[in-house]
Copies of this chain bind each other. A is one copy, B any other.
Amino acid sequence: MALIVQKYGGTSVGSIDRIRNVAKRIKLEREKGHQVIAVISAMGGVTDKLINLAKELSEEPREREMDVLLSSGEQQSIALLSIALNEIGIQAVSATGRQAGIITSGSHTRGRIESIEPRLLKRFLADDLTVIVAGFQGITEDGMIHTLGRGGSDLSAIAVASSVKADLCQILTDVDGVYTADPRVVKKARKLPEISYDELLELASVGTKVMQSRSVEFAKKYGVKFEVKSSLNNNPGTIVTEEHAAMESVVIRGVSIERSQARVTITGIPDHPGMSGQILGALADAEVNIDMIVSNIASDQLARHSFTMHTSDLGRAQSALKPVLAELGGDASIETEAGIGKLSCVGIGMRSHSGVAAKMFSALGKAGINIGMISTSEIKISVTVEEDQIEEAARVVHTAFDLDS
């Protein structure tokens, strides 16, 4: 008998029929003899409806009250799922974020989980009850309601799994697991049986939107092994876990791409201390999200800085940099390019295998794909290419690293 924590998103509980289906899935686990805690989101669409009501009253509704308002959505879904379970003979009880003992800090609408006091959850489990926990919410030390922001229910599930020392945590979602690449782009992409936290983090941060980074970081911090799998079928998903020796035999775990990227390059500015800070500060003030940063000194001792960002940020970046350039003086000039894509290879095996970058660049070269900027981290290599070549680039690299099925 195992203790399983399952997380179901808003789509999975988006209608009365779907709630019934989730109840049946949980019943299957109970019939195998397992104990189940299900952490669930609000019914799909409910949160948006509530936001619209609030926006009718105020353009900028108080965040404290938005937390009170939105957390009611999960309170409804946990009650309904518990009712559905009891109806099919599974003794179930609901628990709000507060009742589950989820203590948060930080600000309203983007609370952080500080700790979990699972006293009540443990009491319910001791009574052999199935427990339905409201995801996405918790309370502060002094009893105020917090929501956890986007992806908060995943975070709740992982935190609950950690606090009750669950044997398994399953994130049930509308994807089948984590793939070596986006199957819509790379037909030969394979589902991974296993991936390390760090690899998923790097893949997530470059656009493989399986889970929010902070949920993966939380799982890594507390050593919670979890499985990403489909809520629509019973296929095995992808286990996300700590890295272990066997994982290193695979050089590259996966390939991901980002489209609609743009580049800004500043040239001809004197390389004095604090200058980068000045430039980046101006971009941050303008709320431009910078991704890659590449800087070097040209032979003329003048610095050359390049940044990438989403195309939609390009205009704002250019306006923000204008006054900075004027201030920097000299022959400073700015050059921009839109319509580029970014390709990343991720794998912890990279550390122990030399020549990974060479292999990647040579594969791209053979396919006639020019590389723009290059940026590397310990387990990731990213390059920019022309956007219209990004899909071909992904396929070429996927093949080069023997990822094809």
| A344 CB within 8 Å of chain B | no
Interface residues of A in 66-112 (CB under 8 A from B): 66, 68-69, 71-73, 75-76, 78-80, 82-84, 86-87, 93-94, 96, 98-99
Q: Judging by beta carbons under 8 Å apart, are B65 and A79 in contact?
A: yes
| A54 CB within 8 Å of chain B | yes
The 14 listed contacts between A and B (C-beta, < 8 Å) are A19-B57, A58-B84, A61-B87, A62-B82, A65-B79, A65-B82, A65-B86, A66-B83, A68-B82, A69-B76, A69-B83, A72-B79, A75-B75, A99-B144
Q: Which B residues touch A275, using CB under 8 A?
A: none
Q: Judging by beta carbons under 8 Å apart, are A83 and B62 in contact?
A: yes
| A53 CB within 8 Å of chain B | yes
| A232 CB within 8 Å of chain B | no
CA distance A78 to B66 in the complex (A): 11
| A351 CB within 8 Å of chain B | no
Q: Judging by beta carbons under 8 Å apart, are B72 and A76 in contact?
A: yes
Task: Quickly give the copy total for this chain.
Answer: 2
Residue of B whose beta carbon sits closest to that of A59: B87
Residue of B whose beta carbon sits closest to that of A19: B57
Q: A62-B86, A99-B143 are in contact. List 14 more A-B contacts (CB 8 A).
A: A16-B56, A16-B57, A57-B80, A57-B84, A61-B83, A61-B86, A61-B87, A62-B83, A64-B93, A64-B94, A68-B94, A75-B75, A96-B145, A98-B143
| A50 CB within 8 Å of chain B | yes
Residue of B whose beta carbon sits closest to that of A58: B87
Q: Which B residues touch A143, using CB under 8 A?
A: 98-99, 120
- CB within 8 A of A65: which of B20, B50, B68, B83? B83
Q: Judging by beta carbons under 8 Å apart, are B83 and A58 in contact?
A: yes
Q: Which 10 A-B pairs have the closest CB atoms?
A: A69-B79, A72-B72, A68-B79, A58-B87, A72-B75, A61-B83, A65-B79, A65-B82, A57-B84, A16-B56
- Chain A: residues with CB nearer than 8 A to chain B? 16, 19-20, 50, 53-54, 56-58, 61-62, 64-66, 68-69, 71-73, 75-76, 78-80, 82-84, 86-87, 93-94, 96, 98-99, 120, 143-145
Q: Which B residues touch A68, using CB under 8 A?
A: 75, 78-79, 82, 94, 96
Of A56, A72, A143, most B-chain CB atoms within 10 Å: A72
Q: Judging by beta carbons under 8 Å apart, are A80 and B93 in contact?
A: no
CA distance A86 to B62 in the complex (A): 8
CA distance A98 to B68 in the complex (A): 12
Q: Which B residues touch A56, using CB under 8 A?
A: 16
Q: Which B residues touch A99, using CB under 8 A?
A: 143-144
CA distance A62 to B120 in the complex (A): 19
CA distance A96 to B56 in the complex (A): 22
CA distance A58 to B73 in the complex (A): 20
Q: Judging by beta carbons under 8 Å apart, are A66 and B53 in contact?
A: no
Residue of B whose beta carbon sits closest to that of A84: B57
